[in-house]
């Protein structure tokens, strides 16, 4: 039978990354619980799995390095060598080196780099130094323990089966459901228009409703396949917290809450870098030095909590620290010195917090590896907004800071609210819609927008007709869709309300990217294309226009 080496290499790459991630998490956990035998056993199992796979593919240098790692772990497992911070450090260095070595081996570069050879020698020397203390039964213990652990692993894998699926195939499945939806919409319209009240017509409609139910089930299944738990991604940040704290002379630990919460794999992929930046920012700016924390009566080791949960059809991710909190006076001083706000301006607490999202804003005293270069939270906010999300910050002086990121569960399908303007249809994300009402008669004469009184509160609004330069005459009765973003509200004026509908998001082509107020497109049941509106941008535009002085 012909063996496809490319498939073997792909499988090796994926399984190695999983094992290395498991090793890293176990090592970080062992810093707190050094006597946990199961964690040590899981480390040995992961290293042995990678070694076996490397030997199968004849990556001899990689297998030799892993043999030295196994020797060291075996000594720890048999209580001959204590898992001190120094031992954990060298094992974490070995995990980092293995990531590089595995990638090089897959790319055809099987020899070790000089720094990897030096680390391999250090591992071997450390193991040989303690081997003489061990008992002759150590090797037997190693073999029998691994045999037992293999059985345990097989049992756990039998209970939870994971299937690796090519995302390209899932995208194709999703596109097929889109085509299905288009054909279904046309069929429904034809049936509603041309079916009489005859029995055969009613049966045809019932058949269509059954088809619709099957389609919705298929669509839900495809979406579930794309959903993955956040835990594996979140746990990888624990290493960043540890390393960033050590570089700053601080102590820190990370706690993950809600690791079983599932989110679309695309969302998880895009949110990784913003989360990494914010976590490092919390370590650098938020947490105090151990002696300062001790003097304040706090635990010398700072705590960063990464939490995920579902709320109203969204996923919410919170990054909290128990550090010093935001220094309002320092933020205001820096903002005034840079001309971001005028002297004497009075800002609310929320407005002060939002200043840290200004481009290039940084209160760091010196440039370090982590901060002070002016590449800050403005990049994080821009990335979150690009995912149709929102970010907010809350802080209490001396108690810590919490960043809250709210994102859609998926970037593939949204629940939308369709409106008509002239001959065009637009879709507003339903999660942003608060209510709908008629535009007051006295506001019909305003050319672009303005402000209306909504139960005693001023509501800025903008006409979609003028914003997108739609043709046709303005109707006698216009509708206002009240939308919310970042705790603020604005109104969007449209000709007609079409109601709720699911929208399969299609990206805009390069020619149309960057259009203000538009985040994507979708295909309607009649086959026409509708634009999906960017609510944050439209809210900002409405507020900006309402603040402009009225020309006489």
Per-residue pLDDT for the chain (552 aa), expressed as one digit of tens each?
445 677 778 888 888 888 898 888 888 888 888 888 888 888 888 888 888 888 888 888 898 999 989 888 888 888 888 888 888 888 989 999 999 999 988 888 888 888 988 988 888 888 887 765 554 433 333 333 333 333 333 333 333 345 567 677 777 777 777 777 766 776 676 666 665 545 466 666 777 777 777 777 777 777 778 788 888 888 888 888 888 888 888 989 899 999 888 888 888 888 888 898 888 888 888 899 999 999 999 999 999 999 999 876 678 999 999 998 888 888 888 888 887 787 777 788 888 888 888 876 765 554 444 443 334 688 888 888 777 788 888 988 888 999 999 888 777 777 889 999 988 899 998 888 889 998 887 766 555 568 888 888 888 888 888 888 887 777 888 899 999 876 678 899 899 999 888 787 777 777 776 677 888 888 887 778 888 888 877 887 777 777 665 544
The C-alpha atoms of residue 409 and residue 263 are separated, in whole angstroms, by 5
Contact in structure between 302 and 245 (CB atoms under 8 Å): yes
CB 340 within 8 A of CB 358: yes
Q: What distance, in Å, lies between the first and last C-alpha atoms of the chain?
A: 85
CA atoms within 13 A of residue 384's CA, in its CB half-sphere: 25
Q: How far apart are CA 405 and CA 227, in angstroms?
A: 18
Those residues with Cβ within 8 angstroms of residue 379's Cβ, 6 or more apart along the chain or in another chain: 274, 277
Residues 6+ apart with CB under 8 A from 150: 45
Contact assessment for residue 316 and residue 277, using Cβ atoms and an 8 Å cutoff = no
Read off the tokens for 218: 């298929």
Q: What global pTM score does this model have?
A: 0.65
Query: Which residues is 457 bridged to in the sheet?
Result: 454
Cβ partners under 8 Å of residue 358, min gap 6: 335, 340, 378
Q: Which residues contact 333 (CB under 8 A, 6 or more apart)?
A: none
Q: What burial class does residue 169 get, using C-beta atoms within 10 Å of its C-beta: 0-12 exposed, 13-18 middle, 19+ buried?
A: exposed
Distances (CA, A) of 490 to 143, 421, 442, 515: 68, 18, 18, 20
Integer Cα distance of 544 and 552 in angstroms? 18
Looking at the DSSP bridge assignments, the partners of residue 427 are 418, 532
DSSP bridge pairs for 254:
304
DSSP conformation letters of 381-442? HHHHHHTT-EEEEEEETTTEEEEEEEEES-SSEEEEEEEEETTEEEEEEGGGEEEEEEPPGG
Residue 401: how many other CB atoms lie within 10 Å: 24
Provide the b/e sequence for 172-204 (b: ≥16 CB within 10 Å): ebbeebbeebbebbeebeeeeeeeeeeeeeeee
Q: Between helices 231-247 and 265-281, what is the axis angle to 10°? A: 20
């Amino acid at each position: 039978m012909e063996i496809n080496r490319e498939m073997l290499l792909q499988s090796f790459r994926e399984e190695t990354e999983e094992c290395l991630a498991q090793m890293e998490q176990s090592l970080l956990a062992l810093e707190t619980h050094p006597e946990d035998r199961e964690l040590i056993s899981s480390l040995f199992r992961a290293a042995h799995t990678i070694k076996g796979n490397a030997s199968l593919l004849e990556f001899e240098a990689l297998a030799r390095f892993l043999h030295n790692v196994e020797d060291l772990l075996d000594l720890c497992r048999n209580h001959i060598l204590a898992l001190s911070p120094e031992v954990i450090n060298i094992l974490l260095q070995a995990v980092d080196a293995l990531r590089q070595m595995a990638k090089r081996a897959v790319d055809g570069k099987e020899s070790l780099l000089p720094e990897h050879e030096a680390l391999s020698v250090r591992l071997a020397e450390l193991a040989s130094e303690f081997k003489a203390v061990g008992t002759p039964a150590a090797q037997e213990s190693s073999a029998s323990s691994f045999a037992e652990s293999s059985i345990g692993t097989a049992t756990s894998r039998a209970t939870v089966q994971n299937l690796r699926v090519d995302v390209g195939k899932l995208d194709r499945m999703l596109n097929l459901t889109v085509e299905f939806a288009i054909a279904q919409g046309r069929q429904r319209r034809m049936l509603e228009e041309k079916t009489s009240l005859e029995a055969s017509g009613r049966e045809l409609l019932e058949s269509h409703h059954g088809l619709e139910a099957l389609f919705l089930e298929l669509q839900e299944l495809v979406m579930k396949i794309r959903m993955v738990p956040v835990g594996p991604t979140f746990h990888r940040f624990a290493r960043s917290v540890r390393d960033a704290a050590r570089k700053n002379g601080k102590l820190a630990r990370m706690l993950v809450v809600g690791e079983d919460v599932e989110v679309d794999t695309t969302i998880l992929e895009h949110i990784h870098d913003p989360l990494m930046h914010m976590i490092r920012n919390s370590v650098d700016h938020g947490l105090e030095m151990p002696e300062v924390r001790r003097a304040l009566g706090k635990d010398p080791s700072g705590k960063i909590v990464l939490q995920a949960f579902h709320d109203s059809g969204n996923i919410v991710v919170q990054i909290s620290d128990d550090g010093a909190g935001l220094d309002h006076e320092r933020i205001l001083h820096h903002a005034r010195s840079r001309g971001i706000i005028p002297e004497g301006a009075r800002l609310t607490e929320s407005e002060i917090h939002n200043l840290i999202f200004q481009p290039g804003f940084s209160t760091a005293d010196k440039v370090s590896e982590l901060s002070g270069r002016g590449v800050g939270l403005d990049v994080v906010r821009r990335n979150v907004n690009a995912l149709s999300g929102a970010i907010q910050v809350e802080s209490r002086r001396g108690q810590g800071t919490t960043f809250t990121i709210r994102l859609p569960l998926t970037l593939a399908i949204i629940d939308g609210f369709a409106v008509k303007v002239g001959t065009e249809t637009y879709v507003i994300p339903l999660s942003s819609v608060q209510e709908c009402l008629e535009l007051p008669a006295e506001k019909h004469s305003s050319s672009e927008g303005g402000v209306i009184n909504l139960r005693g509160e001023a509501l800025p609004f903008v006409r979609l007709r003028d914003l997108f330069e739609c043709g046709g005459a303005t109707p006698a009765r216009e509708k206002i869709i009240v939308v919310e973003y970042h705790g603020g509200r604005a109104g969007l004026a449209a000709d007609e309300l079409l109601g709720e509908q699911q929208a399969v998001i299609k990206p805009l082509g390069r020619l149309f990217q960057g259009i203000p107020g538009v985040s994507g497109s979708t295909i309607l049941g009649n086959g026409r294309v509708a634009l999906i509106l960017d609510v944050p941008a439209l809210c900002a535009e409405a507020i900006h226009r309402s603040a402009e002085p009225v020309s006489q």
